[in-house]
A and B are shown apart, each in its own frame.
Chain A
Amino acid sequence: MNTRFDMMLPRRQTILGGVALAAGAAAPAHAQLTIDMTKPSFEPVPIAIVDFKGDKVGADIAGVVRNDLQNSGLFRSISPSAFIQQNMDPNTPPRFPDWRGIGAAGVVVGQVTQSGGNIKVDFRLWDVVVGQQATGLSFTSQPDKWRRLAHIIADAIYKRVTGEEGYFDTRVAYVAESGPLGNRVKRIAIMDQDGFNTRYITDGKTIALTPRFSPTLQEIVYMAYGENNAPPRVYLQNVESNRRELLGNFPGMSFAPRFSPDGTKVVMSISADGNTDIYEMDLRGRALRRLTSGPAIDTSPCYSSDGSQIVFNSDRGGTQQLYVMGAGGGGERRISFGEGRYATPVWSPRGDFIAFTKISSGSFGIGVMRSDGSGERMLANGFLVEGPTWAPNGRVLAFFRQQPNSGGRAGSVTLHQIDITGRFERQMPTQGDASDPAWSPLIPQ
């Protein structure tokens, strides 16, 4: 056992790279350390995450992992005070009966070591039910990036247990709102998915809305009002340098921008001569191409995950409905046929679903449908729910919710996440009021 175990020791990884160890990774699915999140009902997987050894940041890392997994709704993090086995050696198998005794299906142990100015973190996920290692990985990074390391570890555990890609090592951009109702300050903020490391990337002098990430997370596009009541325009801003530029200089207003999946183009709506159509801008040559025409208002464009199609909404049929067309324009066909109006369509990164906001008989809902318009399902409803955005695994959505205040008017605004079955919703922590979230892709490692 020990010899075999030694062979399974993780190899040293360089910058934030993770390699699954051969052992256990290919093990067959086990009854209790796996979860099929598409099932109509399931119990969260009980998991014990032991404070990582070797450095005091180890306890912090374990805390972030616990928080991520618990917040997914798919796991139940067992309180460390219930742990029977103490002072575990991270390199030997745990005493499985001790963990079975507290109802854990999996136990995570790890250690932190200093290596040449960096920290190296090894962890193992043990399948308590079968008494085997389920996965084990090793990561190295700068000491101040320990939160990212923790998110990456949580992603690895999530993936091992659910079979789906994780989404914890991501960021969320949103519109941070403050000030009185009549004079709201709205600026763009970016935070880690769990609410930490918030940064504001616009100054709030003018209202900025609809932030959207580039695929590399290096840039965001958003709409901001000009100073002295100049019409709103679309801006492209580098997240690191904060350098921003106007995307095209048109007489009318431009809004609702979004990157293509390959990052080479931005689609947006442009209003000219009282007519609103969808345009594509090639970022390499700044060439602008009109994709829709006609007197209707065409807006909220979003590319399909493979970049070949665009979903958007239009009132050409009398009410706001969803349409799909080729990425170069043309071949437009309506896909929404339910009661009410449909807005803000977003194509899942997996390509299978389109999420939308639906307004019918005065109430708002967040729903999903297949990309051909079939199988419509509502996930959340409320006084005001709007603006869905997909986590990179296409199995979780974020959106914003506004509660009526005591006077029945619009009250506080908060971000929420919900899984695609609509079963598990939770509020996402933000600094103050927040609306219109955009979930980033996984941060490039």
Chain B
Amino acid sequence: MKKLPLRLLILVALALPTAATAQRADPVYIEDRLNQLQQAISLLTGQIEQLQYRNQQLQQQMEKMQTDYEFRLDQMEKGGARPGGAPAARPTTPPTAAATPPAAAPPAAAAGAADQVYNDAFKKLQDGDYAGAEKGFRAFVQRNPQHALAGNAQYWLGETYYARRDYQNAMTAFAEGYKAYKSSPKGPDNLLKLGVTLANLGRKPDACAIFARFAQDYPRATDLQKRRIDQERQKNGCG
């Protein structure tokens, strides 16, 4: 206990060196200190700017992911077919006849056989057998180009390629879908996926041109679909 006051005394003595006091009054020293502070401030300013920017980017990414998830969950709950998204995601339920009623009923037997091909292909897609699904959907579209589900089949054909990252063939399939089955119930999804595929191929201006057609072609698209288009437009820097 005795040592303590002594230590304090030494500390106090060290803290007040007369030389330092003199140094502080020196204008050169002050200018030097100011320069150091100025440098420190600009360094911090730069770091804050960078952090704010990163933060803003992350926030935007989060929001985008959130709406994306919401959209997908929403689609799953509706039991509808899968929209464009991560290739790994699999469709949850096959579309039913009720979801897409045939416009002109083909002869019952033929219709039954066609439906069977469609459903089998869809099952394969769900199981991740993309090559099998590809064959099925292609056969379906070739044999039943006027079938009410032909637009859906064409879209899913594109998805079988997309899931395998075969963007070239996916692009051809989606482009065909856009040309031949523009007014199919899958039309908006098909257009969206065509754009996304083009973007994946590095053809952003073309992707943007495709996204730009969306509003005109599908004025009655759901809000979620419109939002997806907006996100893709932003992501790809469409003007």
Q: Which residue of B lies closest to A373 (CB)?
A: B53
Provide the residues of chain A in CB contact with B203, threshold 8 Å: 40
- B38-64 near A? 1/0 per residue, CB < 8 Å: 110011011001100100000000000
Provide the residues of chain A in CB contact with B42, threshold 8 Å: 296, 315-318
- Whether, in the assembled complex, A293 has its beta carbon less than 8 Å from a beta carbon of chain B, the answer is no
A375 to B205 Cα, complex, angstroms: 13
- Partner of B46 from the list A295, A318, A352, A370 (CB cut-off 8 Å) is A318
Provide the residues of chain A in CB contact with B74, threshold 8 Å: none
Beta-carbon contact of A317 and B206 below 8 Å: no
Provide the residues of chain B in CB contact with A321, threshold 8 Å: 46, 49
- Whether, in the assembled complex, A14 has its beta carbon less than 8 Å from a beta carbon of chain B, the answer is no
- Whether, in the assembled complex, B239 has its beta carbon less than 8 Å from a beta carbon of chain A, the answer is yes
Beta-carbon contact of A317 and B237 below 8 Å: no
- Partner of B38 from the list A38, A40, A295, A337 (CB cut-off 8 Å) is A295
- Partner of B49 from the list A39, A40, A315, A317 (CB cut-off 8 Å) is A317
- Whether, in the assembled complex, A79 has its beta carbon less than 8 Å from a beta carbon of chain B, the answer is no
- Whether, in the assembled complex, A308 has its beta carbon less than 8 Å from a beta carbon of chain B, the answer is no
Query: Interface range on chain A: under 10, 10 to 19, 20 to 34, or 35 or more?
Result: 10 to 19
Supposing A316-B42, A317-B45, A317-B46 touch, asked if A40 and B205 sit within 8 A by C-beta, the answer is yes
Provide the residues of chain A in CB contact with B45, threshold 8 Å: 316-318
- Do most interface residues of chain A lie in helix, strand or loop, or is the interface mixed? loop
A39 to B198 Cα, complex, angstroms: 13
Provide the residues of chain B in CB contact with A295, threshold 8 Å: 38
Most B CB within 10 A of own CB, among A317, A334, A352: A317
Provide the residues of chain A in CB contact with B46, threshold 8 Å: 316-319, 321
Beta-carbon contact of A337 and B53 below 8 Å: yes
A236 to B52 Cα, complex, angstroms: 40
Beta-carbon contact of B206 and A40 below 8 Å: yes
Provide the residues of chain B in CB contact with A296, threshold 8 Å: 42
- A317-333 near B? 1/0 per residue, CB < 8 Å: 11101000000000000
A113 to B113 Cα, complex, angstroms: 77
A296 to B206 Cα, complex, angstroms: 43
- Whether, in the assembled complex, A242 has its beta carbon less than 8 Å from a beta carbon of chain B, the answer is no
Shortest beta-carbon distance from B200 to chain A in Å: 15
- Partner of B237 from the list A316, A319, A334, A375 (CB cut-off 8 Å) is A375
Provide the residues of chain B in CB contact with A334, threshold 8 Å: 49, 53
- Whether, in the assembled complex, A85 has its beta carbon less than 8 Å from a beta carbon of chain B, the answer is no
Most A CB within 10 A of own CB, among B39, B46, B206: B46
Beta-carbon contact of A39 and B239 below 8 Å: no
- Partner of B43 from the list A38, A40, A318, A370 (CB cut-off 8 Å) is A318
Chain B stretch 173-209: residues in CB contact (< 8 A) with chain A: 203, 205-206
Provide the residues of chain B in CB contact with A316, threshold 8 Å: 42, 45-46
Q: Which residue of A lies closest to B37 (CB)?
A: A295
- Whether, in the assembled complex, A218 has its beta carbon less than 8 Å from a beta carbon of chain B, the answer is no
- Whether, in the assembled complex, A363 has its beta carbon less than 8 Å from a beta carbon of chain B, the answer is no
A375 to B235 Cα, complex, angstroms: 10
A296 to B39 Cα, complex, angstroms: 10
Supposing A317-B42, A317-B45, A375-B237 touch, asked if A39 and B50 sit within 8 A by C-beta, the answer is no
Provide the residues of chain B in CB contact with A370, threshold 8 Å: 237, 239
A369 to B201 Cα, complex, angstroms: 22
Q: Which residue of A lies closest to B38 (CB)?
A: A295
Shortest beta-carbon distance from A314 to chain B in Å: 10
- Whether, in the assembled complex, A216 has its beta carbon less than 8 Å from a beta carbon of chain B, the answer is no
- Whether, in the assembled complex, A374 has its beta carbon less than 8 Å from a beta carbon of chain B, the answer is yes
Shortest beta-carbon distance from A42 to chain B in Å: 11
Shortest beta-carbon distance from B145 to chain A in Å: 28
Chain A stretch 284-330: residues in CB contact (< 8 A) with chain B: 295-296, 315-319, 321
Shortest beta-carbon distance from A178 to chain B in Å: 39
A296 to B42 Cα, complex, angstroms: 8
Provide the residues of chain A in CB contact with B49, threshold 8 Å: 317, 321, 334, 337
Shortest beta-carbon distance from A192 to chain B in Å: 31
Supposing A315-B42, A318-B43 touch, asked if A337 and B205 sit within 8 A by C-beta, the answer is no
What are 17 A-B pairs with beta-carbon distances under 8 A? A38-B205, A39-B205, A40-B203, A40-B205, A295-B38, A316-B42, A317-B42, A317-B50, A318-B42, A318-B43, A318-B45, A318-B46, A321-B49, A334-B49, A352-B239, A370-B237, A370-B239
- List residues of chain B with CB under 8 Å of any chain A CB: 38-39, 42-43, 45-46, 49-50, 53, 203, 205-206, 237, 239
- List residues of chain A with CB under 8 Å of any chain B CB: 38-40, 295-296, 315-319, 321, 334, 337, 352, 370, 374-375
- 15 more CB-based (< 8 A) A-B contacts, given A321-B49, A337-B53, A370-B237: A39-B206, A40-B205, A40-B206, A295-B38, A296-B42, A315-B42, A316-B45, A317-B42, A317-B45, A318-B43, A334-B49, A337-B49, A352-B239, A374-B237, A375-B237
